[in-house]
Structure 1
Amino acid sequence: MAATTTYNLTIVLFVALSALTYGYAFSVFSTSIGQPAFYAYFKLDQEGPGAAHTASILGILNSLFSAGAAFGAISMAWLPDWIGRKCTIVIAAGISLVGGALVTGSVNIPMMIVMRFIHGVGVGQCITITPIYLSEVAPPNRRGFLTGQNAVALVFGYLLSAWVGYGTYFSNNGTFAWRFPLALSCLFPLILLAGSPWIPESPRWLIWRDRVDEAWKITAKLHHDTTDPTQRMAKAEFFQMRTQIDFDRTQDLSMMHMFKKPSLRRRILLGCGVLLGSQACGALVINNYSVVLYEGLGMKDSMPLLMYALYIVVGMIFNIVSSLIIDRVGRRTLFLLGWTGTAIALSCETALVARYAGTENHGGNAAAVLFLFLFVTIYGSCIDGTAYVYCAEVFPTMYRAKGMALGLFTYYSASLAFLTPAATALNNIGYGERLNVMLMLVWY
């Protein structure tokens, strides 16, 4: 059985910058709403009569970003099969770079709303193409671990945005405090574009395009085993790919056929259901409004940003743990443990918030914080990375791009229902009720 080589890891970790691009961009706005200078620059009131308007603006900025990500995700149903996985990564990185730069340079709210949508399109493409590509270049025996680096990179993006946001809070330059974190979102797609000429194309796509010689050279390098001079593993994998693709050519590969055929329809329900389930357990709502959560639990000044950063550190650690155990424990077992555990953690969190939020009971508020950290521990260990791996694997190779596109389109479309009303709900009701209702949104 071939070991994971340095070349495999290098390719996987470099392409995972695409997932990091998404993770950083999706999370960085959570720190922006913790910067007082952001509200001052755009003349948004955090309190008083204008607070309702501010809440609606925050909801729009978050939901339009998700709408762009949904549009970017569904475009992946055709683009990777049409122009190849490598070119798709380049296009996604390019749109993310332009969108991030224009968001950073926004001078008014209408401009930021439009640019957030464009940025969302790019990062939605990034996070959709990454697991597709990784699952096709990873050796079969290490596919779970290597494809799982998608989630590790994603959460590392969350981690960077959280600590950058916390650090810039102390800047004497208010504009720098909120613009620099946004500007940093341009760095990762820029690196990806610069290194893209050295990314190998997916051998499966090359075989599909009858570029067999190129496909074999890449396969031999990806599946190289120093203990096997005859390249038995590489030849077996290449033969399997060619046989599978010969069969695929005889099939109807349209999306309409996927919905018509019962076995494929079931796979769509499984893939979309898993990603919807990873959304519905509450991770995105908690992540995007963490600062407000911690403020409601009695924290002030920079403390909400610090707690958010520590929350992401825990998520990062347990996403790495997930990537190490997923091939041994199994996808289904992790899901069952994860959804049960997060339901229990959120139930306890909701009870504590209803009782102690907005009070001076430090023990009750500390317990509420503890259950938030327990939630992200379970979520990172069992659900976050596993959902992407499962959705990529549940579809046959010929339908993988379309399947991932449908799954992530469902994920981001659902996020509109969670993120759009959350900001307004948080503004219109009291602190204890705010947090309670926000947490209950995850059961929507």
Structure 2
Amino acid sequence: MGSSKKYFGLQGQTLGRLQMALIVAPSFILFGYNQAGIGGLITGEDWVKTFPEIDTVNATAADKSAKSTLQGFVVAVFVIGALFGSLSCSYTGDKFGRRNVIFVAGLCTLLGEILEASSFSLPQFIVGRVIVGLGVGQLSSLVPVWQSETSGAKNRGRHVVLDGLFICLGYVLESWINLGFFEFHTGPKTWRPPIAIACFFSLVLISSIYMFPESPRWLLMTNQNERAVENLSILRGLPRDSPEVRSEMEGIELSLEITSDGGAKISQILKMGEDKLLYRFGLCILLQFYQQMSGSNLISVYAPILFQENLHLSSEISKVLSAGALTWKFLSSFLAFAAIDRFGRRVCFMVSGAGMSCCMIALAVATSFPESNRSAQIAAGCFIYLYNMFVPIGFLGANFLYCTEVAPLRLRMAMSSISTANHWAWNFVVAMVTPVAIYSIGWQYYIVFAVIAACVPASVYFFYPETMGRSLEEMDLIFKQSPSAWDTVRYEKQLRSCGGVPRDLEEKKGGTEHKVEHSEG
């Protein structure tokens, strides 16, 4: 295999692990680190001196509402960049390839982090924050697609769920690093180095991306068939002419043939058609809405503020408890890693949604008591920790994974980028509203998230078909062959109970074993 030397001389699972360490890990550590990056800094002494426009610590009652709103905007402006970065991938991801766009995204995060860390005025900081968001938005949209397209069906869930684990690791690093530099108490060193440390992960990403194979599915889609076969054989660690490689290539080719009708125009996702594209797009949009509006970003980004202003604890204790809560969230991410390819995506989503809803209800009750009620404060802190156990099970990686699994190859990048942009749009809403909401309505704010999270189990049960263990091409055919959008979940269950694969895929491969005739219900 002539090209294998290009990729460290490695192939198969060993190359996949290195891809995880040098590309996936830095990409999603940057996601978590930069998203939560200033949540723990905005009450620091030198920070409020440098940016007095968003100083809510020393603000008078008359100014606090306006400054809270501006503070929310500064935190949320990162999300505006991420939204546009994510949307841009619907064009650039297919036009220029997965690796090229990931490289550009890494450059954006590096430039933005330099601007942020060197800021002496709020406008410069905001510009840096937008540019970082632009890069992170591209990474959040594109890296899960690249992972799904280069991973085998058996362990694809674990591979992509690791994204959530690395997002958590970014939150954890940010919170403990912020706490460490906070102990200096005064001077720029309390906030500039924590921001600048993120540059290390950007540099690792930029310097490593071209050491890994491009997506075979993208290569095949752009008529680079020889490279597609070569890259697939390297990724699977098998000879080019092996039955497994030939079979997978045939499946990808079939998927391209079936979804080629009408081209790959983005407008196609708004039409139902035989492929049920609108239904599949709706699944992606709703899932990313749930991820944000169940309160995940509220707890992760604003944990220090929740402990300090909502639970009335000291600044230092708030930072310690926040760092502990995010560390617990990171450890809980291993639950998703263990469950996603064992119990399936549906179970993970339903358990996560139910748990988040219960915790938000409890948090609303606990914070409704007067601030002098110490027992209620302790209970609220415990429910924040418990909430952080349920989030990663279904909504810190699996949501990105599922969107790539239900999208057809020709429109996978478009569906992924638009649904991820939807994720960032609701992220922006939460980031903007939270400082004002905590200040004005307090405990009632949590009820909104409790109600939305409670809708997750029912909608997943009725509308979200299981994707565990199926190739991306099999999922294409399941959506195409199911009698209707309403019956897709039931149709997939019937196939799974028979141990079968979709009819056309079996015929394409020329096999008869496990052949399942199409059922109308």
TM range (shorter): over 0.9
Aligned mate of 2:408, from 376, 379, 396: 396
Aligned to 2:378: 366
Q: 1:172 to 1:333 in 2, by over 3 A?
A: closer
- Contact map agreement 1:13 1:149 (CA 8 A) in 2: no
Q: 1:278 to 1:4 in 2, by over 3 A?
A: farther
Question: SS where residue 5 of structure 1 aligns?
Answer: helix
| Aligned residue identity for 1:151 | G
For residues 9-59 of structure 1, the C-alpha deviation after alignment (integer angstroms, 9 at most, x for no partner) is 211332212122111111111121242321122223523244334312211
Q: Distance in 1 between matches of 2:186 and 2:361?
A: 41
Aligned mate of 2:247, from 232, 236, 242: 236
Aligned mate of 1:139, from 152, 159, 163: 152
Aligned mate of 1:439, from 446, 452, 455: 446
Q: 1:45 to 1:324 in 2, by over 3 A?
A: closer
Task: Please provide the CA RMSD for this pair.
Answer: 2.0
Aligned to 1:309: 323
For residues 306-348 of structure 1, the C-alpha deviation after alignment (integer angstroms, 9 at most, x for no partner) is 1111111111112222022101111111111111111111101
Aligned to 2:399: 387
Question: SS where residue 210 of structure 1 aligns?
Answer: coil
- Contact map agreement 2:56 2:68 (CA 8 A) in 1: no
Q: 1:214 to 1:230 in 2, by over 3 A?
A: closer
Q: Distance in 2 between matches of 1:349 and 1:141?
A: 38
- Contact map agreement 1:22 1:157 (CA 8 A) in 2: yes
Q: Distance in 2 between matches of 1:149 and 1:372?
A: 22
Aligned to 1:75: 88
Q: 1:310 to 1:251 in 2, by over 3 A?
A: same
Question: SS where residue 341 of structure 2 aligns?
Answer: helix
| Aligned residue identity for 1:376 | N
Aligned mate of 2:13, from 5, 15, 23: 5
| Aligned residue identity for 1:88 | V
For residues 266-321 of structure 1, the C-alpha deviation after alignment (integer angstroms, 9 at most, x for no partner) is 11110010110111111112222211211132421311111111111111112222
Give the Å deviation of 1:264.
0.5
Q: Distance in 2 between matches of 1:171 and 1:185?
A: 20
Q: Distance in 2 between matches of 1:34 and 1:141?
A: 46
Give the Å deviation of 1:78.
1.0
Q: Distance in 1 between matches of 2:423 and 2:210?
A: 31
Q: 1:404 to 1:64 in 2, by over 3 A?
A: same
1:254 aligns with 2:265: yes
Aligned to 2:296: 283
| Aligned residue identity for 2:389 | T
Moved more, 69-78 or 28-37: 28-37
| Aligned residue identity for 2:251 | Q
Aligned to 2:457: none
Aligned to 2:38: 29
Aligned to 1:97: 110
- Contact map agreement 2:352 2:393 (CA 8 A) in 1: yes
Q: Distance in 1 between matches of 2:12 and 2:428?
A: 39
For residues 93-144 of structure 1, the C-alpha deviation after alignment (integer angstroms, 9 at most, x for no partner) is 1111111111222211122222212221111111111101100011111111
Moved more, 200-209 or 8-17: 8-17
Aligned residues: 433
Give the Å deviation of 1:392.
1.4
Q: Distance in 2 between matches of 1:241 and 1:209?
A: 13
Aligned to 1:350: 364
- Contact map agreement 2:12 2:235 (CA 8 A) in 1: no
Q: Distance in 1 between matches of 2:425 and 2:240?
A: 49
Aligned to 1:20: 29
Give the Å deviation of 1:232.
3.0
Q: Distance in 1 between matches of 2:148 and 2:311?
A: 42
- Contact map agreement 1:285 1:438 (CA 8 A) in 2: no
Q: 1:410 to 1:201 in 2, by over 3 A?
A: same
| Aligned residue identity for 1:331 | R
Q: Which structure would you say has the larger Rg?
A: 2
Q: Distance in 2 between matches of 1:189 and 1:38?
A: 24
Moved more, 414-423 or 340-349: 414-423
Question: SS where residue 31 of structure 1 aligns?
Answer: coil
Question: SS where residue 289 of structure 1 aligns?
Answer: helix
- Contact map agreement 1:92 1:125 (CA 8 A) in 2: yes
Question: SS where residue 227 of structure 2 aligns?
Answer: helix
Aligned to 1:206: 219
Question: SS where residue 329 of structure 1 aligns?
Answer: coil
Give the Å deviation of 1:363.
2.3
Q: Distance in 2 between matches of 1:45 and 1:282?
A: 23
| Aligned residue identity for 2:265 | S
Q: Distance in 2 between matches of 1:103 and 1:184?
A: 11
Aligned mate of 1:269, from 282, 287, 305: 282
- Contact map agreement 1:323 1:385 (CA 8 A) in 2: no
Q: Distance in 2 between matches of 1:218 and 1:28?
A: 37
| Aligned residue identity for 1:384 | L
Give the Å deviation of 1:242.
2.8
- Contact map agreement 2:255 2:408 (CA 8 A) in 1: no
TM-score of the superposed pair, with normalisation by structure 1 = 0.92
Match runs of 1:96-245 below 5 Å: 96-171=109-184, 173-224=186-237, 231-245=242-256
- Contact map agreement 2:12 2:234 (CA 8 A) in 1: no
| Aligned residue identity for 1:67 | I
| Aligned residue identity for 1:153 | F
- Percent of residue pairs identical: 21
- Contact map agreement 1:97 1:190 (CA 8 A) in 2: yes
Question: SS where residue 119 of structure 2 aligns?
Answer: coil
Moved more, 169-178 or 325-334: 169-178
Aligned to 2:351: 337
More helix per residue: 1 or 2? Answer: 1
Give the Å deviation of 1:438.
3.8
